[in-house]
Amino acid sequence: MYDFDYYKPASVAEAARLLAAGDSKLLAGGMSLIPSLKMRLNRYSALVDLGAVLDIKGIRRDGNFLVIGAMTPHAVVAASAEVRKILPAIASLAEGIGDPLVRNRGTMGGSMANADPAADYPSAILGLGATVVTHLRQIAGDDFFKGVFETALQAGEIIKEVHFPIPQKAAYTKYRQPASRFALVGVFVSKSADGVRVAVTGAAPSVFRFTAAEAALAKRFDPAALDGITIKPDDLNSDIHASAEYRAHCVVEITRRAVLAAQ
């Protein structure tokens, strides 16, 4: 690990000011950032720890939205009575992330900013049509994830919270890579007055919407509506864990299971 300065501001404004100076980087749970520093894959002049910025940590309901602060750890989301009551699919998604250490340290904002192609939260953001609120602007969830470890965030932009619309029905189903527990394929399905959304993570370089399934499920929200629906493997990931053809098969089958779970 290279040397760096360390700051622990108490507000988003102070964090933004510290980030603007030099080659600084935000630190949340450290679950992805710290290993990359330890392996000397990255080098920063300073880390700006968001751990004391308390107003971006927590969960609340705001009208028909569930609002989760960026610094809320996965374990807090998983255990929240409010989340379990109004959007249980998010609680179960958070409960399935990594292991207890990762869930206690890792945060929603860190996971989103990191934009790992196999991370779970991105599927909920696309699968519900959520809105990402930063200290500068609001970003539609559909426009947030841009590619492998790439988002719409500008340098120094800080995620404050995410507004998830509360759907009529929703579920997240993940087929895990057994060693890492990341999604080989994960599917978030929701049904609301605006229609059906199906978002897939783990299968491609970035989370994406499975529009053929959305169209079929909009007519009939039932696993049988997916009979005959396929997805081309051309743009899907192929690696030591699974071929693109196998992932294509899983995308349809995991979608079927997610729809069943959402009934």
Ligand X SMILES: Cc1cc2nc3c(=O)[nH]c(=O)nc-3n(C[C@H](O)[C@H](O)[C@H](O)COP(=O)(O)OP(=O)(O)OC[C@H]3O[C@@H](n4cnc5c(N)ncnc54)[C@H](O)[C@@H]3O)c2cc1C
Chain contacts with ligand X (rule: CB under 6 A): 25-33, 50, 70, 97-98, 102, 105-107, 109-111, 113-114, 119-121, 153, 158-159, 180-182
Give the Cα separation of 232 and 248 in Å (integer). 7
Q: What is the DSSP letter of 166?
A: P
CB-closest chain residue to ligand X: 110
Q: Which is nearer to ligand X, 98 or 233 (CB)?
A: 98
Q: Which is nearer to ligand X, 28 or 189 (CB)?
A: 28
Token couple for 195: 């229609």
Q: Which is nearer to ligand X, 16 or 170 (CB)?
A: 16
Query: How far lies 182's CA from each of 42, 116, 177, in Å?
Result: 23, 10, 6
Give the ranges where the chain is alpha helix by DSSP (H): 12-20, 33-38, 74-79, 81-86, 88-95, 100-105, 108-114, 121-128, 211-219, 244-262
Least distance to ligand X, CB of residue 215, Å? 28
Evaluate whether 225 touches 216 at the Cβ level (below 8 Å).
yes
Least distance to ligand X, CB of residue 146, Å? 14
Least distance to ligand X, CB of residue 194, Å? 25
